[in-house]
Structure 1
Amino acid sequence: MGDAPGKASGRLRLAVIGTGLGSGPHFKSLHDLASEAEVAWVHARDATRLATAQLPHGAHKTTRLENILEDASVQAVLVLTPPNTHLPLVQRLARAGKHVLVEKPLEIDLARAQSLVQVCDSQGVMLAVMLQHRLRPAATRLRALLKTGELGQLVSASASVRWWRTQSYYDEPGRGTLARDGGGVLITQAIHTLDLLLSYTGLPTRVMGLANTSPVHTMEAEDCACALLHYANGAMATLQATTAAYPGFPERLELNGTLGSASLEAGVLQVAFMNGQTLSVGSQQDSGGGTDPMAFDHAAHRAVLQDFLDAVRQGREPAVTGRSALAAQQVIEAIMASSRSGCPVTL
C-alpha cells in the first residue's frame, strides 16, 4: 500500500460486487458484523441472479456499477466476482477512492495481479485479500511459534491438498478455464494452503513442478499438480494438489525445524518439540474439500473481514495484504512454467 488510508470511525458503509457461489460466507460474515458495517449496495451484472440473492437488510440492488463509484459514503467494497474481472473493477474502485477486499486469487496471472496491487498503491487505497486460512486460530499460533524461533531453523516442509470435485462442478461455464479462472486446482483450491505455507517460509529460490489434467475430469486447466520448492538455506518443501481424490480429504501442512515439528490439518495444530513438550491448538474444521465446495464454517472469513474493517478505521495495513498475496501467484506460475519446460524455474 502506498500512502496510508484515511482513518474512519463508526459503522462503515460498504458495497459488495458479486453474488455467485463464493459470496455465501461473505454475506454470513457481514450479517455477524452488522453492528460494525452497513451494506449500502450489492452489484451484479446478472439481474436475475441479483433478484433472487439473499442480501443484507437495507442493501440496494444494482446492475449499474456507477451507483457504487459515485456514492461518496461508500468507504470500502468487497469484490467477489470471477478472477478475470478483478483488475478492471479494482482499477475503477481505487480511482474512486474505495478501499477493496478482493476474493482470492488476485487475478488470473501474476502480471495482472501486480497491476492490481500497483493501482491500489498509486491511489493510496487499501487492498486486502480473502485468504482466510492465515487467520484461523491454529494458523496464527503456528506463526507466533515461528516468529519466536521455537521450532528452530526450517529443515523441510510439505503441503497436501487432496480434494474432490465432481465433473458437474467443472461443467459450469468458465470454471477451470484459463481465461476466467487462470488455471485449475493450484489457483482455485490449493492457493489457500500454498499461501499459508509461503506466509511461514517466504519465497523459495527454485521451483520444479508437474501439472496435468487427470482422466477423472474433462476441463481445460490442471486438476493435479506436484512441486518441489528449494529455499536459500537448503530447506526443501513439497506440494501435492488435486481435485481428483475421492471423496476429498482435509488439507495438511507440515513444517520440520531443528527444534521440533508442526502439522496443521483441518484447523488443528499439533507440535512436537525436541525437549519433549507437545502442543495442540484448534478444533476440527471442514474446508469444502468434498462434493460440496461450500461445506465449511465462515468464521475465518469473518476474521479477515473484521480485520479489514478495523484496518480501514485505524488507517493501517490489513493482515492479508494484496502485496503479500503475490507470492502464491508467483510460485503457481513457476510450477506451471516448470511443468511445460521440464526444467526448474529460478525465482
Structure 2
Amino acid sequence: MIRCAIVGCGHIALKHMEAIRALEGAELVALCDTDPIKLESLHARCGAAVFTSMHDMLRQMPEIDLACICTPSGTHARLAETAARAGKHMVIEKPVSLTPQDGETIREAVRLSGVKAAVVHPNRYRPAIRYLKWALDSGLLGKISHVNATVRWNRSQAYYDQAAWRGTREMDGGVLMNQAIHSLDLLLWLFGPVTKVQAMADTRLRRIETEDVAIATLRFGSGVLGVVEAATTVYEHNLEESISVFGEHGYVIIGGATANWIKQWKCSTMTQGEIDMITQRVELDPYGVPGHQRIIEDLIRAIEEDRNPAVTVDDGIRAVRLVDEIITAAGRQEIHT
C-alpha cells in the first residue's frame, strides 16, 4: 500500500484525491495547506489527517510514501526539495516549476535522494492523443510538414482576482505556463526538441503581470514546422483546444473545447474502416481513464519496478524551457497592458 499525502488543497487537489481513491494499492492519509478553509473543505471529503505545515506533516507521519504537490507553481521547487530530503516520492502538478533553473533544482534533489518523481501532463493519456501518437510512431502519416497547437480559452478577470498569486510572474505565469503548457508538452512528446523559436506575446485584456495571449512559430530538430496560439482572452467561454498534424500521407485534427475529439482523420495508408474504428472508439470514450489517475498509477508501478515514470521531471523541464524560450523570443519588455 502506497500512502499518499496531498500538499495544497485548492481545486486541482480534488483530481488527485479522486485518482488516489480509484487506485488499488494507494491510500490518501494526509492533507496539508496553510489555508485552514481549503484544508477543511478537502478534509470533509476524505477524512485524512490535516496539517498546516509540510515539515510537521513529514515529521509526524514518517509512513507517508508519496506527496502530491498541488500548490502554486512558484512554490514547487522548495516543496519538492523538502519532500526529496525526507525520502518521499512525488507527483508534481504542472508546470514542474516556473523557471528551468528551479526545474533543475528539483531534478538534482530527486537524483540525490533516489526518489521517483512524475509531472502532471495528463493530456498524453487522452484516447485521441494516444491514437495520434500511434499513427506517428507507425509512420502512417509519412513525413510531417507542419503542426499547429491552439488554446483559445477564457479566464476572466474574476478568475485572476480570486487569489493574489494568480497571474504573477513569481507564482503563476501566464497563458503559456498555466494553460498551454499541456499543448507544448504534447508537441515536444510527439515531435521532439525545438531548435528555433519566433514569437509575440502580450497582455491585452487581463490585469495581470504575465501574458494573456501569445503566438509562436517553432522549428523542430526533425525539420517539422509548428505554430502555437494561446489565449485566455476569448470571450465568455473556452472555445477551442486543438492539435493539428499535416503529413505527406494525410492529416489528423484533434479538437473541441478540449482536445478530446477527432475532428478530421485523413490518411492514404489506412483504410476508411480503420479510420472509422478509431473515430468511433474515441466518440464512445473521449476522456478515457482520468489522466491524473494514469500518472499516479504509473508512478506507483515505477516505484515497484524501480524505473523512471512515464512523465519525468526532465519532461516537465523541457516544457518550461520552451515557455521561457517563447517569452524570451517575444521580448519581455513588449508585454504590456
Give your verdict on TM over 0.5. yes
Contact 1:27 1:55 in 2 (8 A): no
CA distance in 1, matches of 2:46, 2:220: 49
2:230 corresponds to which of 227, 241, 250: 241
CA deviation after TM superposition for structure 1 residue 55, in Å:
5.1
Does the C-alpha gap of structure 1 residues 177 and 331 become closer, same or farther in structure 2, counting only changes over 3 Å? same
Measure, in 2, the Cα distance between the counterparts of 1:114 and 1:24: 28
Q: For structure 1, list consecutive stretches of 5 or more residues without a partner in the other structure.
A: 1-10, 287-295, 343-347
Which amino acid in 2 is paired with 1:151?
A: L
Aligned to 1:267: 260
Q: Residue type of the partner of 2:320?
A: Q
In 2, distance between residues paired with 1:312 and 1:168? 41
| TM-score between both structures, scaled by the size of structure 2 | 0.89
Moved more, 253-262 or 219-228: 253-262
Task: For residue 34 of structure 2, give the secondary structure of its aligned residue in structure 1.
Answer: coil
Kept in 2: contact 1:15–1:77 (CA 8 A) = yes
Distance 2:285 2:153 in 1: 15
TM-score (ref. length: structure 1):
0.86
The answer for the alignment partner of 1:112 in structure 2 is 102
1:59 aligns with 2:48: yes
For residue 292 of structure 2, what is the amino acid of its counterpart?
H
Q: Partner amino acid for 1:328?
A: A
Per-residue deviation, 1:106: 0.8
Q: Percent identity?
A: 30
> What is the rounded CA distance, in whole Å, between the counterparts of 2:253 and 2:113 in structure 1?
40
Distance 1:127 1:276, change over 3 A: closer
With over 3 angstroms needed to count, the CA separation of the structure-2 counterparts of 1:328 and 1:132, relative to structure 1, is same
SS in 2 for 1:114: helix
Q: Does 1:282 align with 2:276?
A: no
Deviations 1:68-127, CA, capped at 9 Å, x for gaps = 323332111100000111111111111111110000001111111121122112221111
How far 1:322 sits from its partner (Å)?
A: 1.1
The correspondence of residues 1-347 of structure 1 with structure 2, limited to 5 A, is 11-33=1-23, 35-54=24-43, 57-70=46-59, 71-172=61-162, 173-181=164-172, 183-214=173-204, 216-246=205-235, 247-265=237-255, 266-269=259-262, 270-275=264-269, 277-278=271-272, 279=275, 280=279, 281-283=281-283, 299-340=290-331
Q: Secondary structure at the match of 1:311?
A: helix
Instruction: Compute the displacement of 1:189 (Å).
Output: 0.3
In the TM superposition, residue 54 of structure 1 has moved relative to its aligned partner by 4.0
How far apart, CA to CA, are the structure 2 residues paired with 1:92 and 1:64? 12
The verdict on how the C-alpha distance between 1:65 and 1:233 changes in structure 2, with shifts beyond 3 A counting, is closer
The code of the aligned residue for 2:170 comes to A
Alignment check: 8 A CA contact 1:107 1:113 kept: yes
C-alpha separation between the residues in 1 aligned to 2:288 and 2:47?
25
The number of residues matched between the two structures is 321
- Is the contact between residue 155 and residue 236 of structure 1 (CA under 8 Å) also seen in structure 2? yes
**Range that drifts further, 98-107 or 309-318:** 309-318
CA contact (8 A) 1:101 1:128 kept: yes
Can you give the 5+ residue segments of structure 2 that lack an aligned partner in the other structure? Answer: none
Runs of 4+ in structure 1 off by over 6 angstroms are none
CA gap of 1:235–1:96, structure 2 versus 1, over 3 A, is: same
**Counterpart amino acid of residue 283 in structure 1:** E
CA–CA distance in 1 between the matches of 2:137 and 2:288?
A: 28
Q: How far apart in 2 are the matches of 1:61 and 1:283?
A: 41
User: 8 Å contact 1:267–1:284 — kept in the other structure?
Assistant: no
